[in-house]
Amino acid sequence: MSFPIVRHRRLRRTAAIRSMVRENVLHVEDLIQPIFVAHGSGIKNEISSMPGVYHFSLDTLKPEVDEIAALGIPAVLLFGIPESKDEVGSSGFDEQGIVQEATRLIKSWYPDLMVIADTCLCEFTDHGHCGMVHTYEREGQLCGDVMNDESLELLARTAVSQAKAGADIIAPSNMMDGFVQAIRSALDEEGFEHIPIMSYSVKYASAFYGPFREAADSAPQFGDRKTYQMDPANSREALREAETDVLEGADMLMVKPGLAYLDIVRQLRDQFDLPLVVYNVSGEYSMVKAASMQGWIDEKAIVMEKLTGMKRAGADMIITYFSKQAAGWLRQR
């Protein structure tokens, strides 16, 4: 009988040797925890489609941030639920806006915790679109076009007000053309040339954002986001989006969602040298939570496997609602 010449199993025989040859390791430093901050007081409401994720008002926020900081998670990503919404999303660039106030508070508690501000209009506009909308009626139906260049000024104002409040990183998620350049020059003009832009470079028009839209109360009131977010069928276009952001001065690139788009993460990793972020979005969280609450899957094993898979695909950082849990599990290792 002839023996196999190559034996892969030699390097898998014990836990010790497996750990020596392991190629990708998830670290707590890779994790970014999103937080939803809501106007009001005494609020700690669980988002029904995202068990374990809450809306916090400013007076209930401290224990959550304490926990994140104690776990060693380096950064939070803030989303705001404002008191009021209007056509242009002015509560998004209000100096006393909910994201601005939360930023100031968190920085006062933990100066070293990085605060990343999501820069978009959809949480703050009454129509729920990520930019300014020109509305009209067609056959009795309300319709609207999202205006690109008109939106840029509002987004730039939002970013500047977030930086003024103390945000360490600006993360624009609006998918207008030219947003990195517009935000970069506005930040520079106001003396924030040192604040990096984490661009949601490749953001698909995805059904995986469903639970987030409940969480952020940001579903579009008419139409959809397909005229600005990308078609899930495309990958060459993703490279063009990323290239544009690089040319406009982005400091980090992002791919969103994660799981169904890890081929895109790999392509960006191979083509660009900037730090790469993957957003493990709300729907990806809800699916795992639902199945694990039914007892159908092993939550910890699944979460660690998928986060490690994102690193293997090329991610340097992962935005995930599982950050706190994953950080806890990493400690037990």
Phi, psi values for residue 301, rounded to 5°: -65, -40
Catalytic residue among 44, 107, 203, 226: 203
Among 58, 146, 155, 281, which residue sits at the site for ligand PBG (rule: CB under 6 A)? 281
Angle at 98 between CA 178 and CA 206, to 5 degrees: 50
Residue 130 binds ligand PBG, judged by CB under 6 A: yes
Which tokens in the block code for residue 215? 């969480």
Which tokens in the block code for residue 23? 């190629």
Say if residue 235 carries a ligand binding annotation. Answer: no
Contact 115, 167 (CB under 8 A): yes
Q: Which is nearer to ligand PBG, 209 or 272 (CB)?
A: 209
Residue 107 binds ligand PBG, judged by CB under 6 A: no
Burial level of 319, CB count in 10 A (0-12/13-18/19+)?
Answer: buried
Least gap, CB of 289 to ligand PBG (angstroms) = 13
Among 179, 212, 228, 261, which residue sits at the site for ligand PBG (rule: CB under 6 A)? 212
Residue 99 binds ligand PBG, judged by CB under 6 A: no
Say if residue 161 carries a ligand binding annotation. Answer: no
Q: What residues form DSSP beta bridges with 230?
A: 204
The answer to whether residue 203 is catalytic is yes
Which tokens in the block code for residue 12? 């898998």
The answer to whether residue 256 is catalytic is yes
Instruction: Name the residue with the smallest CB distance to ligand PBG.
Output: 212
Q: Which is nearer to ligand PBG, 5 or 245 (CB)?
A: 245
Residue 173 binds ligand PBG, judged by CB under 6 A: yes
Q: How far apart are CA 120 and CA 170, in angstroms?
A: 10
Residue 98 binds ligand PBG, judged by CB under 6 A: no
Residue 276 binds ligand PBG, judged by CB under 6 A: no
H or E stretch at 246:
helix 236-247
Q: How far apart are CA 224 and CA 288, in angstroms?
A: 26
Residue 54 binds ligand PBG, judged by CB under 6 A: no
CA distances from 31 to 27, 34, 41, 49, 257 (A): 7, 10, 28, 22, 15
Catalytic residue among 44, 85, 256, 300: 256
Residue 268 binds ligand PBG, judged by CB under 6 A: no
Residue 213 binds ligand PBG, judged by CB under 6 A: yes
Say if residue 120 carries a ligand binding annotation. Answer: yes
Q: How far apart are CA 95 and CA 315, in angstroms?
A: 33
What 129-135 contacts at long range (C-beta under 8 Å, 24+ apart), as own/partner pairs, is 129/220, 129/223, 129/225, 130/173, 130/174, 130/175, 130/176, 130/225, 130/228, 131/155, 131/174, 131/176, 131/228, 132/87, 132/88, 133/87
Q: Which is nearer to ligand PBG, 130 or 307 (CB)?
A: 130
Residue span binding ligand PBG (CB under 6 A) among the ranges 38-46, 57-65, 207-215, 270-278: 207-215
User: With CB under 6 A, what is the number of residues at the site for ligand PBG?
Assistant: 10
- Residues of this chain that bind ligand PBG (CB under 6 A): 118, 120, 122, 130, 173, 209, 212-213, 281-282
Annotated binding site for Mg(2+): 241
Active-site amino acid positions: 203, 256
Binding site for Zn(2+), by residue number, is: 120, 122, 130
- Known binding residues for 5-aminolevulinate: 213, 225, 282, 321
